[in-house]
Amino acid sequence: GGSAKQEERQCFCPSQSGAPTAPPLPPPSPPPPGPPEYPRPRLIFHTQLAHGSPTGRIHGFTNVKELYAKIAEVFNISPSEILFCTLNSHKVDMQKLLGGQIGLEDFIFAHVRGETKEVEVTKTEDALGLTITDNGAGYAFIKRIKEGSTIDRLKTVCVGDHIEAINDQSIVGCRHYEVAKMLKEQPRGIPFTLRLVGPKKAFDMIGMRTRVPKSNEGKMVNGRETLRLRSKGAATVQEVQNEFEEQATKKVDDLLESYMGIRDLELATTIVEAGKDKKNPDDFAEALDSVLGDFAFPDVFLFDVWGAIGDVKNGRI
């Protein structure tokens, strides 16, 4: 909007002054007709490897896979080395996990593959006590371990571990809800093996790194805005979620965990966006189906989510 108007003003200013002007020089190369299919916001982000590295600068990515490719290029590693990223902290802090949004001043820390370990697990109850999330590029990893659960008793299994295989069957490329389902389906009393890859550990001497000094270089926007990454389509710069969306997203993320054993802020955000302006659960279910056909949510989950969005909307929370 604004930039087009500015161009108009710039074009017409000379003639309004009344002075004769030379014909304008042709631009060196005419801009391509129409906007490109996916405009890429030219935003520069700072990044480091979480276990310690120089600072790199990246830009021009529009989804998580491209983000990993850019980080890998800067540090000369393979994108498949990256397990997940955290924002503004080099620790394995699941509160700081990079989901579908990056604040424009955020510093990105990439956690890369460390040791591989095999763990034998025997279910003593139906739930293992694991919450799974995924990195958006084919790796499912452990986001939470419930205290006192079967997994909690196995001290070698940690939050942040990528689950690479179940009983030697590779699950790389499976979505987190598929992995959660496979783990749920493991029979009680029969041991099975998890192959896990932990993130590379930092030296403990390294203190908490401070935020990068604020620089406006390459930043076209500021204030409370984020770059919203999408699995399909272009990244967009948008305002930070308002309080309603933030609360509703948190509720939906909690429901995803209790129903499906996964946490996924990007998915929760998408669900809230699909539901916030719908008039009834049927319209909501239809909208969800069109954006997330592959999930096949149970009806009870949909009704609970619909109720939670309604509660937040009507200030009942």
The 3-state secondary structure of the chain, one letter per residue: CHHHHHHHHHHHHHHHCCCCCCCCCCCCCCCCCCCCCCCCCCCCEEEEECCCCCCEEECCCCCHHHHHHHHHHHHCCCHHHEEEEEECCCCCCHHHECCCEEECCCEEEEEEEEEEEEEEECCCCCCCCEEEEECCCCCEEEEEECCCCCCCCCCCCCCCCEEEEECCEECCCCCHHHHHHHHHCCCCCCCEEEEEEEECCCCCCCCCCCCCCCCCCCCCCCCCEEEECCCCCCCEEEECCCHHHHHHHHHHHHHHHHHHCECCHHHHHHHHHHHCCCCCHHHHHHHHHHHCCCCCCCHHHHHHHHHHHHHHHCCCC
pLDDT at 111: 95
- pTM, two decimal places: 0.69
Q: Tell me the residue range of the domain where 304 lies.
A: 241-314
Residue 292 falls within a domain, yes or no?
yes
pLDDT at 100: 75
Residue 306 falls within a domain, yes or no?
yes
Residue 302 falls within a domain, yes or no?
yes
pLDDT at 204: 41
Structural domains in the chain (count):
1
Residue 159 falls within a domain, yes or no?
no
Residue 293 falls within a domain, yes or no?
yes
pLDDT-flagged residues of the chain (< 70)? 1-42, 202-224, 230-233, 238-241, 293-296, 316-317
Residue 85 falls within a domain, yes or no?
no
Residue 106 falls within a domain, yes or no?
no
Residue 140 falls within a domain, yes or no?
no
